[in-house]
Structure 1
Amino acid sequence: MRTIVVGTRQSQLALTQTGQVINALKQICELQALPFQFEIRKILTKGDQILDVTLSKVGGKGLFVKEIEQAMMDKEIDLAVHSMKDMPSELPEGLMTGAVPRRVDPRDALISRVGTTLDELPQGAKVGTSSLRRASQLKAYRPDLHIESIRGNIDSRLRKLETEGFDAIILAAAGLYRMGWEDRITSFLPVDICLPAVGQGALGIECREEDEEVRHLLSLYNDPDTAATVAAERSFLGSLNGGCQVPIGAFASLHNKEWGDETPEGGIRLTGMVGSPDGTVILKETASGERPHELGEQVAEMLRSRGAEEILSEVRG
């Protein structure tokens, strides 16, 4: 029986979602009579070591995956479970996304110390987020808010809400759901106010292209609808050469009535956003299509024609 070694970050959320993935793969193995067992390998990434600086200042996307990908290329691990929003738009040669399981709620969630929604927060409230994307859109919607950086794992950020004088913090709803902490959510930020990060709410299961056994197993776990919508978002991100260093958001839906969005049967609708860090400029465009990659490029080009490249160049410095 082959032991498939699964690489993961060491955070509580990463270990929890890796355990959930392994349980799902075990069920598939039982149903398909596949002779595999699983072992977890914890890997410390650069992003987990640097907690006192905003992600945009230390490299953004890739910070949470490079060491894991190296372990896979060195054949120390066989697959890796990533939060899709942490994955760069291009993978190293020889690696591939073997599965994108069904997405959970992609929205951002507001956790308020006194139970107030975004609209109800007092004038000048102090709101914590580690994301330029969130900060840009929040400042555009509520210019009076004081947005301050807050880093760390979900549990440490929830603690900082109580100990560091924040009125509220913004976290991805998906992580709270996966941890079973959804009762902490005060309200959800609608996607028309705050577009999520590319791939938010989705996992990416990465493996080696040459590993036929693992590729076959992961193909049975893949959710085609989620894979298609996330592919459109990632194509958009790649076309703009974006990452955590710049305020970019996107959300694609596929004949999906969840999360306050509805798309005509059969097509993907993608909305993309580029904003200035201070929220004074927010550019958004929406398009629909059948081909995820081309749709992502189309929305990127629509934004580029409105000056998105100049905003991004200025942010990158």
Structure 2
Amino acid sequence: MTGSVSRASGPSEQRDGVLRIGTRGSALAVAQTTAVAEQLAKATGNDVELITVTTHGDTSRESLSELGGTGVFATALRESLLAGECDIIVHSLKDLPTGDAPGLVIGAIPKRADARDTLCARDGLTVETLPEGARVGTGSPRRVAQLKSRRPDVEVVDIRGNVDTRLSRVADGDLDAVVLAAAGLGRLGRSDAVTEFFPLSQVPTAPGQGALALEVRAGDEKGHGAIATAVAAVDHATTRACATAERIVLAGLEAGCAAPIGATALVDDGLLFLTATVYRPDGTEQLTASHAATPDSMSRADLAAAARDVGERVVAELLGAGAAGLAPLGSAR
């Protein structure tokens, strides 16, 4: 038996056989949560209802760094979950603080989508072929530093808004290009706007980029109830290990998700590899550390131990090399 997926305009009361999934109301959030909800309905046979929650990050026009970055999209969702208005909430993992949320746990991290950043430019341009002084839009300090390190001459314009709003500024001629996540474009069916994909080996992205996190009330992820069955069905062990290793870098450097830090982890040939880079905000300097760990097996427990090991070693190397003097670290998590 497969359940159905429906939408609700606001919090709803618990009904037998219905899983209520909380999401931000943006087109991207709804698209990615709907995809997860369909998986959960199929796995459990329960009907699934999407509950839209408005967050401060959705209504404010301030830049991400001005808003404080970490947690700006998560707080209202978490309050809704703790209040019993939802059973599961879905986050973009890169927006989720690394610190523990009292009473909540990450019940699942589904298989990751494309973690790369992209350039969406007029006339098929790439970073190398942008004209001198080109105007490129992004709201990410990391992306600013990476752009400036490659093209010091470009003018980086701080922007907010949804994917369509950002792409429209290129179409209207206000900007020459914008930098956007490949995963978000793919989930919205807008990958046709991409003029260049940035390789992760050269342009590492935000820790957790491309991955989602399903958060539940502590204890609900255990046992044989509908919520436990749902999160177990979509949790992806290697994605969770890689995302955990990347987020250990953020936590260990005491950096928020708006800090100019990129991290990329992957599991290949029995090894978990992690590379992280800390940038000076103007892109003039950077520090990189890379380490690998060998899990005893591909079990979730062994992968988690390897993620902690490799993450802690990368953090130690970066701090030892002077990362704290390069970028604004020590922010709230």
Is the structural similarity TM-score above 0.5? yes
C-alpha RMSD of matched pairs (Å): 1.5
Which residue of the partner structure matches residue 101 of structure 1? 110
Normalised by the length of structure 1, the TM-score is 0.91
The 5 A counterparts of 1:249-260 are 249-255=262-268
2:314 to 296, 299, 306: 299
- TM-score scaled by structure 2? 0.87
Map of 1:102-181 to 2, 5 A cutoff? 102-163=111-172, 165-181=174-190
User: Structure 2 residue aligned with 1:238, among 251, 254, 260?
Assistant: 251
Q: Which moved more, 1:289-298 or 1:109-118?
A: 289-298
SS in 2 for 1:270: strand
DSSP 3-state at the match of 1:64: coil
Q: Please, which of 210, 232, 235 is the counterpart of residue 222 of structure 1?
A: 235
Cα offsets for 1:129-157 (capped at 9, x unmatched): 11000110111111111111111111111
Off by >6 Å, runs of 4+ in structure 1: none
The 1-side partners of 2:20 and 2:34 are apart by: 12
C-alpha distance in structure 1 between counterparts of 2:329 and 2:48, whole Å = 46
Do residues 69 (structure 1) and 105 (structure 2) align? no
**Cα distance in 2 for residues equivalent to 1:315 and 1:95:** 24
Contact kept, 8 Å, 2:24 with 2:54, in 1: the verdict is yes
Residue in structure 2 matching 1:50, options 38, 60, 65: 60
Aligned residues: 301
Check if 1:28 corresponds to 2:38.
no
Superposed CA deviations along residues 256-315 of structure 1, whole A, max 9, x for unmatched, are: xxxxxxxxx111111101111100111111110131012112111111111111223479
Question: In the TM superposition, what are the counterparts of 1:187-198 in structure 2 within 5 Å?
Answer: 187-198=196-207
The match for 2:260 is: 247
Letter of the structure 2 residue corresponding to residue 268 of structure 1: L
Structure 2 CA distance, aligned partners of 1:271 and 1:215? 33
Contact 1:276 1:315 in 2 (8 A): no
Question: Post-superposition shift, 1:116?
Answer: 0.9
Structure 2 residue runs of 5 or longer lacking an equivalent are 1-15, 296-305
Q: d(CA) in 2 for partners of 1:164 and 1:114?
A: 11
Query: Could you list the runs of 5+ residues in structure 1 that have no partner in the other structure?
Result: 31-35, 256-264
- Taking the aligned partners of 1:185 and 1:101, their CA distance within structure 2 comes to 25
Tell me the distance in 1 between the aligned counterparts of 2:85 and 2:146.
Answer: 41
Measure the CA separation in 2 of the matches of 1:206 and 1:305: 34
Which residue is 1:81 aligned to?
A: 90
1:48 deviates by: 0.6
One-letter code aligned to 1:25: L
Q: Show CA shifts across 1:193-222 (max 9, x none).
A: 321111001111111112242123211211
Say if 2:28 and 2:187, in contact at 8 Å, map to a contact too: yes
Percent of aligned positions that are identical: 39
The aligned counterpart of 2:289 is 285
Matched, 1:270 2:274: yes
SS in 1 for 2:234: coil
Q: Secondary structure at the match of 1:193?
A: coil
Aligned to 1:130, the other structure's residue is in SS state coil
